[in-house]
Amino acid sequence: MKTGKYLIAGLLFLLSNNSFSGEPSRGCTHKYSFWFDWSANISAGFTSYYGDLSQYDIGYLDKLMYESKPAVAFKLTKQLMKRRFGVSGQILWGGFKSNYKPEHVFETNIFEYNIQASVNIMNLINPYDNPDFGITAFVGAGQFLFGNSVYSYNDGLELKSTGGSRVPEFVYFFGAGFYQRISDSFDFTIDLSIRQAQNDNLDSYIAHGDFDYYSFISVGVTFKMDNLRTPFNRFKECPAYERVRPPLKRDEDIMTF
pLDDT of residue 248: 45
For 54-100, write each residue's pLDDT tens digit: 889 888 899 999 999 999 999 999 999 888 999 999 999 999 999 88
113, exposed or middle or buried, with CB in 10 Å at 0-12, 13-18, 19+?
A: middle
pLDDT-flagged residues of the chain (< 70): 1-33, 155, 208-209, 227-257
Return the SS3 of 132: coil
- The full length of the chain comes to 257
Q: Does domain 38-230 have CATH number 2.40.160.20?
A: yes
Contacts of 60 (CB under 8 A, 6+ apart): none
Quote the distance between the C-alpha of residue 117 and its chain's center.
9
For 175-184, write each residue's pLDDT tens digit: 999 999 998 8
pTM of the model: 0.75
